[in-house]
């Protein structure tokens, strides 16, 4: 049953309710939701709900109609997000797990791990204990396989999962792995479920070969009742009369399960189809159907694989599939879960500031060393590029205008915070500056501390106001009593903690800042919304414009203009863009400095080979009071 607590219930009242239920033989789980806090009470005992309803702090008692209780959506409305080390599964994320069917040798798992990590997988799979249909087939390397799997996971910084087939292996396996996999053949091995559940570790629970959805959820209930709430369900095809594929992928199980449970559900198109060419299309079908991820088998020599070669993707096929998933993700309102980024050596602590060579062309950015903008520079130019950190955005413009830096990299807009108007205005004013490039970066926020500082030591959290805002959910849940202190810069807040050796506070910033100042990332990717991207412009003086441009023809143009004060003036300009087939990507209006209540407009349009911008500019000039192309460049997305 579900015990809905009153708003503002005291800790004492809550403990009393829990104690009463436990004394009656119930297992009690507390679920803190967005709207209310509830207690789930499950067990074999039967009591009159009214005896609980009368307790102080109880608002109401509702029975759970489904046979699975803790796994039921009735008990917990919000999606459960499963954490496997620093990888999150569920909600609006898509997590991809990949690797060979079986660990065959140290060399094999190392090679394949590198390939799948490079392509974008976040969890490494590989069987060490293989439940094979024939006793004469390869049974797995056992503990040796676990060792190799762990080694590969550590080498490429990936959590690892592998199948457990016997309760007697559970304790041993906890030393090597990050997530248990319960295979289809063992879904109803209740002794195994209980033993694994007791570890409290994350579990990937495959659907049994002939299991109904309800039986599958009951297996999850076993795990939950035994002590873990970190369960990921995995649809892997069921046995039907159809023989064309190894199993029949039950895609509709995904939305059905999502209705019934709060646990995340992923799909395994490899075991579902058993045929290499069908794996990628079915992986996409699963994602399109709402799956929180996929598990795929990948092998670099599938013809020699000791198990499941015919269904294993070649690494190149897996790479292509990852790109397709990336493209599909926004269509279903999700973002692909990514591994922490590789940080260039030039951004790590101890990298000499003196890498800046005499007379080198510098690239200016706003912020302290280790800022997201610096990472963008190292990706756009090269890893050892000499950089010029500037205090303000205006200083970046000045450095470029005066020739102290050849280029500048500036944020223009963020998918959550919107346009950074200050930079649009500065572009409007500095007419010798032009935009020559664009870059995009996913903003990943981390909780960063001095080495040795633990969660419970944190009394204050420093960051740029945007950083604090974008991590609100994490802070409320994990550090409800910490004071939030706005700072001028995210990486600046890391620098401040480092320089003052502050041991009772944390900063929110990117991992490059932690690396640069030799600080620790206590919690990674703590932003509420993973679809947090910032778009940057690369600016330079007009005379350098052609030096930067790549061989590719620009496919974007940015322009600014003001229009006469008469009806339809803006419409006339937009009409010209439309008549010339220029697809507008962005439109902003900004107040003109010194001219109260007059506005300039900022427009970005697509450009293609058919567009002759030079012939359109005179027409635009005729219809505007002032007009300027801010730059043409290749779009980053």
SS3 602: strand
Contact of 270 with 83, CB cutoff 8 Å: no
Residue 406 interaction partner, one of ligand PEP, Mn ion, none, beta carbon < 5-8 Å per kind: none
CA distances from 637 to 403, 411, 536, 625 (A): 29, 15, 11, 32
Nearest approach, Cβ of residue 311 and Mn ion (Å): 7
| Residues contacting 499, CB < 8 A, separation 6+ | none
Task: Confirm or reject binding of residue 453 to ligand PEP (CB under 6 A).
Answer: no
The least distance separating Mn ion from the CB of residue 141, rounded to whole angstroms, comes to: 14
Question: Quick one: what does residue 184 bind among Mn ion, ligand PEP, none, with the CB cut-off 5 to 8 Å set by partner type?
Answer: ligand PEP
Q: Which does 140 bind (CB under 5 to 8 A by kind): Mn ion, ligand PEP, none?
A: none
Length of the chain: 637
Closer CB to ligand PEP, 268 or 395, in the complex: 268
Q: Which of residues 82-101 bind Mn ion (CB under 5 A)?
A: 101
Q: Rounded CA gap, 50 and 97, in Å?
A: 47
Tokens coding 235: 């649809």
Q: Please, are residues 269 and 126 in contact by the beta-carbon 8 Å criterion? A: no
Q: Which is nearer to Mn ion, 149 or 515 (CB)?
A: 149
> Which of the choices ligand PEP, Mn ion, none does residue 236 contact, using the CB cut-off of 5 to 8 A by kind?
ligand PEP
Q: Does 101 bind ligand PEP (CB under 6 A)?
A: yes
Q: Is 163 in the site for Mn ion (CB under 5 A)?
A: no
CA distance 111 to 299: 9
State yes or no: is 534 an active-site residue: yes
Place of tokens 């998933």: 325
Nearest of 100, 205, 88 to residue 149 by alpha carbon: 100
Beta pairing partners, 486: 463
Residue with Cβ nearer ligand PEP (229 or 268): 268
Q: Count residues binding ligand PEP (CB under 6 A).
A: 10
Rounded Cα gap, residues 565 and 575, in angstroms: 17
With contact defined as beta carbons under 8 Å apart, do 511 and 493 qualify?
no
Closer CB to ligand PEP, residue 221 or residue 308? 308
Decide if residue 127 touches ligand PEP (CB under 6 A).
yes
3-state secondary structure of 458: coil
Nearer to ligand PEP, 146 or 433 (CB): 146
Site for ligand PEP in 147-206 (CB under 6 A): 163, 183-185, 206
Residue closer to ligand PEP, measured from CB, 216 or 397: 216
Q: Which of residues 290-309 bind Mn ion (CB under 5 A)?
A: 308
Which ranges in 211-262 belong to alpha helices (H)? 213-226, 253-260
Tell whether residue 282 is a contact of ligand PEP (CB under 6 A): no
Whether 627 is catalytic is no
Residue nearest to Mn ion (CB): 101
Query: Contact between 495 and ligand PEP (CB under 6 A)?
Result: no
8 Å CB contact between 276 and 302: yes
Q: Which candidate, 237, 192, 248, 258, places its Cα nearest to that of 219?
A: 192
262 binds ligand PEP (CB under 6 A): no
Residues 98-137, one symbol each (x = binds Mn ion by CB under 5 A, - = not), give ---x------------------------------------
Q: Which of 561, 532, 556 is nearest to 424 (CA)?
A: 561
Residue 413 is a binding residue for Mn ion (CB under 5 A)? no
Per CB under 5 A, contacts with Mn ion among 307-326 are 308
Contact by Cβ (8 Å): 60, 50 = no
374 interface partner picked from ligand PEP, Mn ion, none, CB below 5 to 8 A per type: none
Half-sphere exposure of 79 (CA within 13 A, CB side): 19
Which CB atom, from 308 or from 395, has the smaller least distance to Mn ion?
Answer: 308
112 scored as a contact of ligand PEP (CB under 6 A): no
In whole angstroms, how far apart are CA 171 and each of 127, 146, 194, 201, 425? 17, 13, 13, 11, 62
Q: For residues 183 and 386, which CB has a smaller minimum distance to ligand PEP in the complex?
A: 183
Catalytic position from the list 273, 434, 534, 632: 534
Which residues are catalytic, by number?
Answer: 534, 536
Residues in the site for Mn ion, rule: CB under 5 A?
Answer: 101, 308
Residues in the site for ligand PEP, rule: CB under 6 A?
Answer: 101, 127, 163, 183-185, 206, 236, 268, 271
């Amino acid at each position: 049953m579900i015990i809905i607590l009153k708003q503002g219930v005291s800790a004492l009242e809550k403990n009393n309710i829990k104690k009463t239920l436990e004394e009656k033989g119930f297992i009690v789980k507390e679920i803190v939701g967005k709207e209310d806090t509830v207690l789930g009470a499950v067990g074999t005992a039967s009591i009159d709900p009214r005896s609980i309803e009368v307790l102080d702090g109880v608002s109401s008692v509702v029975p759970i109609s489904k046979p699975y209780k803790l796994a039921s959506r009735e008990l917990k409305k919000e999606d459960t997000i499963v954490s496997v080390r620093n990888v999150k599964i569920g909600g609006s994320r898509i997590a991809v797990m990949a690797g060979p069917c079986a660990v065959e040798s140290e060399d094999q798992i190392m090679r394949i791990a590198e390939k799948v990590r490079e392509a974008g997988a976040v969890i490494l799979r590989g069987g060490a204990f293989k439940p094979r249909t024939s006793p004469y087939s390869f049974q797995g390397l056992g503990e040796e396989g676990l060792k190799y799997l762990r080694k590969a996971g550590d080498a490429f910084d990936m959590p690892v999962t592998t199948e457990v087939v016997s309760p007697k292996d559970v304790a041993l396996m906890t030393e090597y792995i990050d997530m248990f996999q319960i295979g289809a053949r063992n879904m109803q091995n209740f002794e195994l479920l209980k033993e694994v559940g007791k570890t409290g570790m994350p579990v990937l629970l495959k659907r049994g070969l002939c299991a109904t959805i309800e039986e599958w959820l009951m297996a999850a209930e076993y795990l939950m009742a035994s002590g873990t709430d970190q369960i990921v369900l995995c649809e892997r095809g069921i046995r039907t009369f159809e023989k064309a594929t190894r199993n029949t992928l039950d895609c509709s199980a995904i939305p059905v399960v999502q209705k019934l449970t709060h646990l995340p559900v992923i799909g395994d198109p490899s075991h579902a189809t058993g045929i290499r060419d069908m794996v990628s299309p079915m992986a996409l079908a699963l994602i399109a159907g709402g799956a929180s991820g996929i598990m795929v088998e990948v092998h670099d020599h599938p013809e020699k694989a000791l198990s499941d070669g015919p269904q294993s993707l070649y690494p190149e096929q897996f790479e292509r599939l990852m790109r397709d998933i990336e493209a599909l993700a926004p269509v279903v309102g999700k973002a692909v879960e990514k591994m922490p980024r590789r940080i260039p050596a030039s951004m790590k602590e101890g990298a000499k500031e003196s890498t800046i060579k005499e007379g080198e062309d510098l690239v200016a950015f706003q912020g302290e060393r280790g800022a997201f903008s610096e990472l963008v520079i190292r990706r756009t130019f090269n890893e050892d590029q000499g950089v010029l950190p500037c205090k303000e955005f205006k200083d970046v413009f000045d450095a470029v205008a005066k020739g102290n830096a050849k280029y500048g990299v500036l944020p223009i807009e963020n998918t959550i915070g919107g346009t950074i108007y200050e930079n649009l205005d500065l572009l409007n004013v500095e007419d010798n500056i032009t935009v020559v490039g664009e870059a995009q970066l996913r903003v990943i926020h981390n909780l960063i501390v001095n080495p040795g500082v633990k969660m419970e030591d944190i009394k204050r959290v420093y960051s740029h106001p945007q950083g604090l805002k974008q991590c609100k959910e994490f802070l409320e849940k994990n550090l409800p009593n910490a004071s939030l202190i706005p700072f001028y810069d995210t990486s600046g807040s890391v620098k401040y903690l480092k320089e003052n050796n502050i041991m009772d506070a944390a900063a929110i910033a990117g991992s490059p800042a932690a690396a640069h100042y030799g600080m620790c990332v206590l919690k990674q990717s703590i932003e509420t919304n993973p679809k947090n991207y910032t778009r940057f412009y690369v600016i330079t003086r007009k005379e350098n414009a052609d030096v930067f441009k790549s061989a590719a023809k620009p496919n974007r143009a940015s322009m600014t203009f003001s229009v006469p004060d008469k009806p339809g003036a803006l419409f006339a300009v937009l009409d010209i863009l439309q008549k010339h087939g220029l697809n507008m990507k962005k439109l902003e209006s900004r107040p003109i400095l010194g001219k109260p209540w007059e506005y300039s407009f900022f427009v970005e349009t697509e450009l293609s080979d058919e567009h002759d911008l030079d012939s359109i500019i005179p027409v635009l000039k005729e219809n505007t009071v002032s007009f300027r192309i801010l730059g043409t460049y290749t779009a980053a997305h």
